[in-house]
Amino acid sequence: MSNDRGTRAKVAVIGGSGLYALFDDKDSTAFTVATPFGDVELTRGTICGTEAVFVPRHGADHCVPPHLIRARAVIWAFASTGVRVLISTAAVGSLNPDLPVGTIAVADQLVDRTHGRADSYFDASTVRHLPFADPFDSHARRLALEACPELVDGATVLVIQGPRFSTRAESRINRSAGIDLVNMTLYPEAALAAELGIDMVALCVVTDVDSGEQAEEAVTAEMVFARLAEARQHLVSAIERIASSVPLDYAPRELIDGAAVAEVLRMEAQ
């Protein structure tokens, strides 16, 4: 494994639960990026001819729980390699009957109910207030939907702390509030990517109906992993088509001024 700060890639992929590798071993290279928030191990490869880097969100053996993911380190590592589009996959529970099990939705909104997670790069320097009305860039979302017309356009994702699943009472409240999907990891990823000028596409794989109304519907980890395995081929196909559709001159939105972003990326690694 090399320590390679010189690697450049325009697309990054975060593999959620069930997606722990993306490239063929013979066609990929593992390397380490030293960041101000700890070392990050990335894998470099190509997706349909597009240079990309990949990291499994929970580790290769699913050993990192949602509330302990070092999101600042991962997103900083991506930005330091020149990533402009992040494709992030996530297992989600559905509260919307129009989004049944097996659906892959491209999220357009989120609600954050996490706590204690480091969610900004500007907590020890000049304050920057992130415009976050639209957490997922519309340009990147359009690219994804044009490349994969079978995906569902738009969904509001509630991000809970985890690692526990919701109670039935919480599910009823969230459903009545107009929440479509429930997840444990898309925040603070989305905010951190937006701060550093990376447009994020959130591919939400519906694995369950959250806590459900009936006892037999209650979500379990085993249920989630089994349904993710069933969806893996479709999910990888979507990732490939989206990555290959990102043009060479893709320009992400700039929500934080470039000088401030450059200052963050000049921070010394640990």
Integer Cα distance of 52 and 23 in angstroms: 10
Residue 206 has pLDDT above 70, yes or no: yes
Q: Among this protein's residues, is 208 annotated catalytic? A: yes
Q: What is the pLDDT, as a whole number, of residue 138?
A: 93
**Among residues 27, 119, 210, 257, which one is catalytic?**
210
Q: What is the pLDDT, as a whole number, of residue 5?
A: 53
Can you tell me whether residue 106 is helix, strand or coil? strand
Tell me the pLDDT tens digit for each residue of 92-122: 999 999 999 999 999 999 999 999 999 999 9
Closest CA to 205 of 97, 113, 99: 99
Q: Which CATH superfamily is domain 7-244 in?
A: Nucleoside phosphorylase domain (3.40.50.1580)
Q: Among this protein's residues, is 210 annotated catalytic? A: yes
| pTM for the predicted model, two decimal places | 0.93
Tell me the pLDDT tens digit for each residue of 156-199: 999 999 999 999 999 999 999 999 999 999 999 999 999 999 99
**Among residues 108, 137, 180, 208, which one is catalytic?**
208
Integer Cα distance of 192 and 194 in angstroms: 5
Q: Of 48-52, 119-123, 151-155, 256-260, which range is least confident?
A: 48-52
Q: What is the pLDDT, as a whole number, of residue 215?
A: 54
Q: Where are the domains of the chain?
A: 7-244
Strand partners, 54: 13, 43
